[in-house]
Structure 1
Amino acid sequence: MFSALLSEVSIRTIAVFLVIFLTLLVFFKRRKNLPPSPSGSWPVVGHLLALGRAPHLKLTEWRKQYGDVYTVRMGMEDVVVLNGYRAIKEALVDYKDAFSSRPNVYVLNLVSGFGKEIAISKFNQAYLEKRKFAYSALRQLGVRIGPGSMEENIRDEARQLCLKLSEQGDAQPRDITDNLTVSVANIICSMVFGKRYDYDDEKFLELSKIVNKLVASVGSSQLMTVFPFLRFIPGVNSTNRILLECIEDVHEFLRQEITKHRETLDNENPRDFIDLILTELQTQEKTDCFTEENIVWMIQDLFVAGIETTITTLRWGLLYMVLCPEEQQKVQAELDSVLGTDHDVPTLANRSQLPYTEATIMEIQRIRAIVPLSAPHAPNEDTTFRGYDIPAGTQVFPNLWSANMDPEFWPDPEKFDPRRFLDSDGKVVTRPESFLPFSAGRRVCLGEQLAKMELFLLFSSLLKHFTFKLPDGAAVPSTDGIMGFTLVPPIVNMCITKR
């Protein structure tokens, strides 16, 4: 009996050790002919400790030693990093057939409904159809230059923003983030819901709150991105629970709006994005591309991507204006010379007349890439790139920061200098190399055109009507940024003086 028991224990022990051995073999076996990897990778955590809280900076630093293409260990996975304009363009544009998909990353899958939206879904026929519809819908709703464009909606929000700042007075320094959030969120609301909200509307405040909470939850889920099994560990899985709750709250709000739209839908006269997608749902044969559930995820995509990124860019812009008052004065002088004493907000037709203003916005986007590491790409199939073998599904990170801050293209890259984007005749350089604020290739930002319209009209309106500066004696704010969902600037209380 004892012998039998010993035998059973031995068999179990051997089985356990065998399982552990095979697991370790799978996790730690390095694939052959991957790009070189920096030293200092630790078991289980890989290079995470070395990457720290500013991974874009460390990855850019490693470029000097390991080249434009190398591999890092994120936890127990190999991740290929692309550095510099040439490598990123080669992969995302020249090799677009190979690098246009997305990897399986739990948190990204979670916030995308496992491929039900657009930005994070795999590259397949469903993705192509959803993106084609969204692009067409945005153009139909006015995300274009010319008559019937979104320009007037954006200008209306710019007027409301300037009016609100004027009403608040200039007695006390204050942070402008909440005001920017209302303006940008209302632009998305007018496009998606067909209406804007007052600043103190309870429904609007509720939507803003849950979207902000969702964005913050994604930003705080980075550890779970690398170690998805943490969602099963009691006591440390609160991040996953909060993220799920945020998604459900956003979806509940959106479902209510969709229900209201369905009750008053006129297929011949669509009012907004919801109407267009409901009409599409009725006219299309039932496919995986357009379902009731997909509608909610696609609209969430517009809110999460369309609000946070624009607000963050504007916040960086105003921070650099208070840090570089001489540049602020140049922009204001140009605005005054073109617009004169007109108290209205600028138009898109003014853009060609305001090259220094346009160049300043481009320099803001360059010097602080709000998404330093683009959303991860992945090859659909085993791919050879620059002599290295990259297996299908491998995470590939384009390090956009390394392109936007490359001293080969941008001398003294930490210096804020809009003249980088002006040619010898003082005109804007329209397609500068190594400038990738919206990424590149097939997964380039769907909202690029809208973002450009918003940034120009809101930024130029603010500087036309106000001067921004730090309070006397205030400490100089840091420009390092804080990594989360985006690279955000610190909260800065500014003196906002009406011009």
Structure 2
Amino acid sequence: MAESLLFVEIFGLTRLNFQTFLVLCLAFGLSFLFLTRPRNLPPYPTGWWPVFGHLLALGRAPHLKFTEWRRQYGDVFTVRFGLNDVVVLNGYTVVKDALVSRSELFASRPPSYVFDVITGIGKGVVTARWGQGFKQKKKFSVSVLKTLGMKVGKNSIEDKIQEEAMCMCEKIAEYRGKQFDVEEELRTTVANVICSMTFGNRFDYGDEKFRELSEAVVVTLFSITSGQLISIFPFLRFFPYVNKPCYDAIKYNGKILKFIREEISRHRRDLDRENPRDFLDFGLIEVDRNDKVDNLTEDNVVHFAQELIFGGIDTSANTLRWGLLYMILYPDVQEKVQLELDAVIGGTLPTLSHRSQLPYTEATVMEVQRLRAVIPLGIPHATTQQVQVAGFDIPAGTQVLMNLHSLHLDPVYWPDPDRFDPGRFLDAKGRVISKLDSFMPFSGGRRVCPGEQLGKMELFLLFSSLLQNFTFKLPEGAPPLSTEGILAITLTPHAFELCAIPR
């Protein structure tokens, strides 16, 4: 108290003025903290709040808000997440420039508390920071996946996908046209493809172990998104209730890691180094040899497998759910796909060799991916050095979000962009236009999805099999279907039931 009075006396301040002085100091400190920014950074949209930045303005669908802001502020702007500036890139020109033309300059990943806790701070590939370690791990992973069949032609995984497609259709047929939620069947089918490649085994429908694994994947991914406030303000992890998403993510991710480590132990017991069977075998052999990846550990292999489960199950299963939802909403498109399938393959199994003969079917899958990209903002990037975009300076280490949604609904490239029209992807002769500007469902450049080829194979074969065997309808009296979706890490449809009428 005496020291405070002395301070007041020295500076000639009354008690009221002294309190005002403290408030001004605090305000100045906060202003310095929140308002200082690198010169020539892209502009802030309105809706900025102290401490929270733009978080309160984004709502539940930030990709939509970013696309709206694009019309007002241009293709490049900055949003404030807590104490951090995040640059958002919109539109094909600047996104392609960043992802493809100057890929290495945007090829790192930013720190994110919850994401880093779950993924081991880049111990895998998807979340690894840019550098030689990332390059080696990605090259190794993609090479192994190709060896295990992620390719078209000899020794392809195609046979396995076809086998799972038949099992899926048999399971759906058991409902005999009655209403049900198809999510579990789709998730199990896609999971069996990736689990066969990763662990060398599949799950039966209704398998309790798979049910627990699937639940853990869904809850973990949802909790990572719900816990983004903790990633922005890490000190909140110490606050009860607020830290629940982080706690849930760690808890359920622990179940996934436990499952993977049990599989690794099983693989260690009967590992044949001359005849690797699956991804874990290849990973364990590389851990012992370190021929292709420096200092690879068993923990790295665990996180490789974790990323395969996350990326391989959630994205493809949700794309198929969106596909069936749009087939119900657009029965004329569904009928046209079925007529094409009947004319080309009849009652035989769809194969990848049929793809060129089924242009409308393939175009329909691509239109689903365009209109409802399941990762509309991609995975966050970070700059590896200071870089200039559209005349603005972006410092090294800045988080950058690629708004892929803005590419896929850009009226400059897609007239009447909200309309579902597979014909967009067909040329005048009815052939698929495989490379179109402003279409990047798997992202691009150095950070393109490692499983892109597998995803394309799965989507074509599984979607073709579903439409070949069933006509999908909305149950009588059911509420109208929503196309808004729920954005977690992936954009998922609201839960819905359908009727699969055998053909």
Q: Normalization by structure 2: what TM-score?
A: 0.94
Amino acid of the structure 1 residue aligned with 2:317: I
Matched, 1:42 2:46: no
Point out the more displaced range, 373-382 or 280-289: 280-289
Return the letter of the residue paired with 1:478: S
TM superposition shift of 1:201: 2.6
| Contact 1:112-1:121 at 8 Å conserved across structures | no
1:42–1:329 CA distance, 2 compared to 1 (3 A): same
Residue of structure 2 equivalent to 1:181: 187
| Counterpart pick for 2:406 among 402, 427, 431 | 402
- 1:114 maps to a residue whose letter is I
User: Would you say the 8 A contact 2:137–2:293 is kept in 1?
Assistant: no
Percent identity for Structure 1 against Structure 2:
52
**Cα gap change, 1:40/1:200 in structure 2, threshold over 3 Å: closer, same or farther?**
closer
Per-residue deviation, residues 39-64 of structure 1 (Å, max 9, x unmatched): 22111111122211111111101111
For 1:205 and 1:376, how far apart are their aligned partners in 2? 30
Deviation at 1:414, TM superposition (A): 0.7
Whether 2:292 is the aligned partner of 1:280: answer no
* 2:452 equivalent among 448, 451, 474: 448
Instruction: State the SS of the aligned residue for 1:72.
Output: strand
Structure 2 residue 208 is the aligned partner of structure 1 residue 220: no
Question: Structure 2 matches for 1:131-170, cutoff 5 A?
Answer: 131-170=138-177
- Whether 2:490 is the aligned partner of 1:486: answer yes
- Cα distance 1:282–1:238, how it changes in 2: closer, same or farther (>3 A)? same
Asked if 1:95 is matched to 2:102, the reply is yes
Question: Could you tell me which residue of structure 2 aligns to residue 232 of structure 1?
Answer: 238
**From 226, 247, 251, the counterpart of 1:241:** 247
Q: Does residue 51 in structure 1 map to residue 78 in structure 2?
A: no
Kept after mapping to 2: 8 A contact 1:130/1:289? no
CA distance in 2, matches of 1:10, 1:161: 82
For residue 354 of structure 1, what is the amino acid of its counterpart?
Answer: L
Structure 1 contact 281–291 (Cα < 8 Å) conserved: yes
- Rate the CA distance shift 1:239–1:16 in 2: closer, same or farther, 3 A: farther
Relative to 1, partners in 2 of residues 1:3 and 1:196: Cα closer, same or farther, differing over 3 Å? closer
> What per-residue deviation string (whole Å, max 9, x for no partner) do you get for residues 182-229 of structure 1?
101111110011111211333222222222221222232232233222
* Match status 1:302 vs 2:308: yes
Aligned partner letter, 2:132? Q
Give the aligned partner of residue 460 of structure 1.
464
2:402 counterpart SS class: strand
Name the counterpart of 1:65.
Answer: 72
Deviation at 1:7, TM superposition (A): 5.2
Counting only pairs closer than 5 Å after superposition, residues 419-434 of structure 1 correspond to structure 2 as 419-434=423-438
- 2:318: which partner in 1? 312
Q: 1:203 aligns with which of 196, 201, 209?
A: 209
Aligned partner of residue 89 in structure 2, secondary structure = strand
Following superposition, the deviation at residue 16 of structure 1 comes to 11
Q: Report the CA distance between 1:95 and its aligned residue.
A: 1.5
Is contact 1:84-1:402 (8 Å) kept?
yes
Inter-partner Cα distance in structure 2 for 1:290 and 1:351: 39
Q: Which sections of structure 2, spanning at least 5 residues, go unmatched?
A: 11-18
Is the contact made by 1:72 and 1:79 (CA closer than 8 Å) also made in structure 2? yes
Counterpart residue identity of residue 67, structure 2: T
* Structure 1 partner of 2:439: 435
Matching residue's letter, 1:475: P
Query: Which residue, out of 262, 270, 289, partners 1:256?
Result: 262
* TM-score normalised to structure 1 length: 0.95
**CA drift at 1:17:** 9.0
* Farther-moved stretch of structure 1 (88-97 vs 314-323): 88-97
Deviations 1:86-142 (A, max 9, x none): 110011111212111111121222222111011111111110010000000000000
Cα offsets for 1:320-364 (capped at 9, x unmatched): 000000000000000000012x2x431111111100000000000
Considering only aligned residues, what root-mean-square deviation do their CA atoms show, in Å? Answer: 2.2
**CA distance in structure 1 between the aligned counterparts of 2:303 and 2:389, rounded to whole angstroms:** 33
Deviates more, 1:487-496 or 1:425-434: 487-496
Matched, 1:268 2:274: yes
CA contact (8 A) 1:158 1:345 kept: no
Q: Does 1:336 align with 2:326?
A: no
Taking the aligned partners of 1:241 and 1:9, their CA distance within structure 2 comes to: 47
1:476 aligns to what SS in structure 2? coil
Matched AA of 2:454: L
Aligned partners of 1:41, 1:19: CA distance in 2, in Å?
19
Q: Distance in 1 between matches of 2:65 and 2:88?
A: 12
Contact 2:94 2:390 in 1 (8 A): no
1-side partners of 2:282 and 2:168: how far apart? 29
Separation in structure 2 between the aligned mates of residue 95 and residue 35 of structure 1, nearest angstrom? 18
Is the contact between residue 192 and residue 272 of structure 1 (CA under 8 Å) also seen in structure 2? yes
CA distance in 1, matches of 2:292, 2:27: 46
Q: Does 1:387 align with 2:391?
A: yes
Higher mean C-alpha deviation, range 151-160 or range 201-210:
201-210
Partner of 2:327: 321
Give the secondary-structure state (helix, strand or coil) at the position aligned to 2:103: coil
Aligned residues between the structures: 495
Distance 1:19 1:232, change over 3 A: farther
